[in-house]
Amino acid sequence: MSCRTGAMEERSQIQQIIETLKNDLPTLFEQDISYDIYTPDIYFQDPVNKFKWKFNYRIIFWTLRFHARLFFSEIYFDLHDVARKTEDTIIANWTVRGVLRVPGKARIFFNGYSTYKLNENGFIYEHIDTWDRKPGEILKQFIRKGEDS
């Protein structure tokens, strides 16, 4: 009976993490996320950043919000799906799209997914972002006219 209860508690905790991600991610450019689902030594990696520790993790989200407000007249994080893929892995599929505050209103658009790894206590200890193109290709969208991207 205790094994069954433990499995139910684990499923419930993972479901709570999935719900937190579903609530946090769509508004990450407008407001801060919840940090209580992450370990203090959270490791983050995307095609341009790589670091460890929750303090740095908080800074990356602050930086995203700051740059979103500074450089974009519109920016969206479209969350398509968040689901448990294996016992210790959650995957979030998403699209970033926006309009830059530049003459010609260049647009940015790219797809990606986030892989979250869970430790034995049910907290996220690793977050790896994968993009559908290289950062340089994404930056080239800034140079093109809005209609071309």
pLDDT at residue 5, rounded to an integer: 52
Rounded Cα distance, 127 and 115, in Å: 6
Low-confidence ranges of the chain (pLDDT < 50): 1-2, 146-149
pLDDT at residue 148, rounded to an integer: 46
Cα four-point dihedral sign 17, 84, 109, 140: positive
Residues 127/23/94/74 CA torsion (nearest 10 deg)? -120
pLDDT at residue 3, rounded to an integer: 53
pLDDT at residue 30, rounded to an integer: 95
pLDDT at residue 78, rounded to an integer: 98
Residue with the two structure tokens 């140079």 = 143
Instruction: Convert 96-118 to b/e letters by CB count within 10 Å (16 or more is b).
Output: bbbbbeeeeebbbebebebebbb
Q: Report pTM.
A: 0.87
Structure tokens at 59: 């800074």
Beta strands in 8-136 (DSSP E): 38-45, 50-52, 72-86, 89-100, 107-118, 124-131
Q: Residue 24: is it exposed, middle or buried by C-beta count within 10 angstroms (0-12/13-18/19+)?
A: buried
pLDDT at residue 111, rounded to an integer: 97
